[in-house]
Structure 1
Amino acid sequence: MSIEDYIPTFVVEAVYDLRPAALRAQGIKAVLVDLDNTLIAWNNPDGTPELRGWLDEMTEAGLPVVVVSNNKQSRVERAVERFGVDFVSRAMKPFAYGINKAIARYGFDRDEVVMVGDQLMTDIRAAHRAGIRSILVRPLVTSDAWNTKFNRFRERRVLRKIEDTYGQLTYRRQLSEVAHDVSREITD
């Protein structure tokens, strides 16, 4: 395992902070997004008015949003059906399966897609494996489902290694502000 495989391209407070103009400025034309604790709180499957507003903003701007979740189909479908968002369930993150399936389904260009998620161990790692950029966001709630708690333990260890090597990741309110240009340091 290389810690570079877990370094996000960007670090942003919340998915709702992503604006179409900032995404386009980065050449992003499609957003793949994790479901639990990224788009909605894992324990609130009905979402929020803020979610509806963000999805409407993306739709009006012509930026497709596709949920890529490890959850089963019925869980994801129930959470997103009222919002008219397509999804890939049983995505098998940290593997690239779900991301690749979404990219193939829509014919997205990998250079124009970003994966947004709250976990280094699944979302960010899967984005690296799929060869696309990633955005790490803070989890919407501090509690996790039982099956995520193990990943959080491992994630804290990996995050400590990243920050020991490259410095602290700083969550920003805008995509245009790169939290820490770790990728440049790795390639230099």
Structure 2
Amino acid sequence: MLNKLTPRLQVKTIYDIDLNELYKAGIRGIITDLDNTLVGARDPHATPELIGWLELVKQKGFQVVIVSNNHHARVSTFADPLAIPFIPSARKPTNQAFRKALQLMSLKPEQACVIGDQMMTDVLGGNRMGLFTILVKPISLGDEGFFTKAVNRRLEKVALYWMRK
């Protein structure tokens, strides 16, 4: 089980991802979480820095789909102004939303990566689908929901403890 929770790459922020290396590795699609991955959980819109990064991602030839466990209104408020397709209420780590994202991009699992801040949803779901998984540090832990704080983050601490051994 621990190998399913282990990301292929771990970075501080999305800005630390080497997009050229991803492209060389055959990655053409980015499935990204929203809350605490792209912006803080309470931030409704993209920052200018994030808008620039997303433009760079598209210029380099990547497709992007946001896959979030959050509700439609939250995700659409963020994604619609950026013209980024999204899948809300994704129920990660189940496979359905990841499959749908791959279909939207017309890509195979080995051609896409998942970027997220949670091992229990983003990394586990991506690894189960055979996607390249990238774990980022959460932008703002203080804004997380009860389940994420009480369950997911505690389970992550235990998993990280065992991974270090």
The structure carrying a bigger helix percent of its residues is 2
1:37: how far off?
Answer: 0.2
SS in structure 1 opposite 2:97? helix
2:10 aligned counterpart, secondary structure: strand
How many pairs are equivalent? 163
Task: Please say if residues 29 and 105 of structure 2, whose CA atoms lie closer than 8 Å, have aligned partners that are also in contact.
Answer: no
Q: Residues of 2 paired with 1:146 and 1:47: CA distance?
A: 24
* Corresponding position of 1:176: none
Matched, 1:86 2:85: yes
Q: Which deviates further from its counterpart, 78-87 or 33-42?
A: 78-87
* Residue of structure 2 equivalent to 1:63: 62
The SS at the match of 2:107 is: coil
Partner of 1:157: 158
Deviation per CA, 1:82-124, whole angstroms, max 9, x where unpaired?
Answer: 1111111111111121111111222112111000001101100
Q: Residues 87-102 of structure 1: matches in 2 within 5 Å?
A: 87-102=86-101
Amino acid at match of 1:151: N
Gaps of 5+ in 2: none
Q: What amino acid is aligned across from residue 14 of structure 1 in structure 2?
A: T
d(CA) in 2 for partners of 1:153, 1:104: 33
d(CA) in 1 for partners of 2:31, 2:114: 5
1:20-169 correspondence to structure 2 within 5 Å: 20-143=19-142, 144-149=144-149, 150-164=151-165
Q: What value does the CA root-mean-square deviation take over the aligned residues?
A: 1.2
Distance 1:105 1:116 in 2: 17
Contact between 1:41 and 1:47, CA under 8 Å: does it hold in 2? Answer: no
1 CA distance for matches of 2:45 and 2:109?
30
Q: Which amino acid aligns with 1:52?
A: I
How far 1:142 sits from its partner (Å)?
Answer: 2.7
CA apart distance, 1:146: 2.2
The TM-score normalised by the length of structure 1 is 0.82
Answer yes or no: is the 8 Å Cα contact 2:33–2:117 preserved in 1: yes
Q: Counterparts of 1:45 and 1:160 in 2: how far apart (Å)?
A: 34
SS of equivalent to 2:65? strand
| Consecutive aligned runs of 4 or more in structure 1 exceeding 4 Å deviation | none
Q: Do the aligned residues in 2 keep the contact of 1:118 with 1:137 (CA within 8 Å)? A: yes
Indicate conservation of the 8 Å contact 1:34/1:116, yes or no.
yes
The percent identity for this pair of structures is 33
For 2:163, give the aligned amino acid: I
Instruction: Give deviations 1:26-49, integer Å, cap 9, x for gaps.
Output: 221111000100011102122211
- Measured in 2, the distance between the counterparts of 1:62 and 1:105 equals 15
Deviates more, 1:5-14 or 1:138-147: 138-147
| 1:30-76 C-alpha deviation (Å, 9 max, x unpaired) | 11000100011102122211110110101112211110111111110
Code of the residue aligned with 1:160 in structure 2: it is Y
Query: Contact conserved, 1:20 with 1:63, CA < 8 A, in 2?
Result: no
